[in-house]
Amino acid sequence: MREKTTQIVEEIKKVICGKDEVIRLILQSVLSGGHVLMEDVPGVGKTTMAVSFSKTMGLDYGRVQFTPDVLPSDLTGFSLLNQETHTMKYQKGAVFHNLFLADELNRASARTQSALLEAMEEGQVTVDDKTYPLPKPFVVIATQNPSGASGTSLLPDSQMDRFAVRVSMGYPSQDNEIEMLMNRQNGANPLSELKPVCTIEDILQMQDETSKMYTKYRVLKYIVALMDRTRTHRMLARGGSPRATLALTAMAKAHAYMTDRDYVIPDDVKAVFPAVMCHRMLLTPEAEFKEISAVEIANEIVKTTIIPKE
């Protein structure tokens, strides 16, 4: 089943040029059962990336373009009175898809943003004291513009902590941008040519195989040591939560799975640590004054934390 991961990456590369590492991180997040936050300026391909994943992986896809007037019930659904039977009937909301794209999530009100918390954490929604399970797999890919953009507000910490990774597309290189234009010659649309390379059952099986990846005790000690460094680092006001520890472990397993190994090694943890932790770390005023980024701190923690021998 692992060969499917290579096929997924290669298929998406037909549309997204020069962003192999971002593609792999998003796929690793899907395999780990996590959610993805894509933070970047408009127009760099965030929505195209999400659509490409849904088409390539055969996922049922839904999208909401967030604005201040989007209501929580638009996402979770609502109960409606049936005039004939005089009973309440539940109408499903927009989150009832395998892959849900929350486009420009940081333009929504705090109340609407919080409507996603239960769905992201527990794979269900509760409406009128009744709980409705979401389809499996369930993946949220949320996009947001950088903080300070007009009409945006910061996502709450509780929401940020529910994203397995935060990724950034960035501008393409000149060669990749030329390749993008060449792929669209004569009105062609690469998205319409994508073909599914796996089924929902394949994804669930890959998720199951990923979760069972063997992780030695020394690697678990290394993960906890890294997490402890984020909680005691003098440039960080807040480090990773236990949820972050679980996310880091799951992502390391997914990295090992895609590297065609049956076990996790410290290099797997190192590879995913910045993407998993940077959006969870709160910098001190001193770090902000010195213009030290979360990425620099994450790389320093990885570089200076000793890997346990046993």
Q: 79 and 127 in contact (C-beta within 8 Å)?
A: yes
Instruction: Give strand pairing partners of 99.
Output: 61, 139
Confidence of residue 152 (pLDDT cuts 50, 70, 90): low
Residue 127 has pLDDT above 90, yes or no: no
Query: For the chain, what percent of residues have pLDDT higher than 90?
Result: 61
Confidence of residue 147 (pLDDT cuts 50, 70, 90): low
* The CATH number of the domain covering residues in 3-182: 3.40.50.300
Q: How many CB atoms lie within 10 A of CB 102?
A: 29
Domain assignments of the chain as residue spans, ordered by start: 3-182, 213-304
What average pLDDT does range 169-195 have in this prediction? 86
For residue 35, the model assigns a pLDDT of 94
What is the rounded CA–CA span in Å between residue 247 and residue 259? 18
For residue 148, the model assigns a pLDDT of 53
Mean of pLDDT over the chain? 90
Output the 3-class SS for the chain: CCHHHHHHHHHHCCCCCCCHHHHHHHHHHHHCCCCEEEECCCCCCHHHHHHHHHHHCCCCEEEEECCCCCCHHHHHEEEEEECCCCEEEEEECCCCCCEEEEECHHHCCHHHHHCCHHHHHHCEEEECCEEEECCCCCEEEEEECCCCCCCCCCCCHHHHCCCCEEECCCCCCHHHHHHHHHCCHHHCCHHHHCCCCCCHHHHHHHHHHHHCCEECHHHHHHHHHHHHHHHHCCCEEECCCHHHHHHHHHHHHHHHHHCCCCEECHHHHHHHHHHHHCCCCEECHHHHHCCCCHHHHHHHHHHHCCCCCC
Q: In terms of CATH architecture, what is 213-304?
A: Orthogonal Bundle (1.10)
Helix orientation angle between 20-31 and 242-258, rounded to the nearest 10 degrees: 110
pLDDT in tens, 269-290: 999 999 999 999 999 999 999 9
pLDDT in tens, 52-108: 999 999 999 999 999 888 998 999 988 887 777 777 888 888 999 999 999 988 888
For residue 157, the model assigns a pLDDT of 84
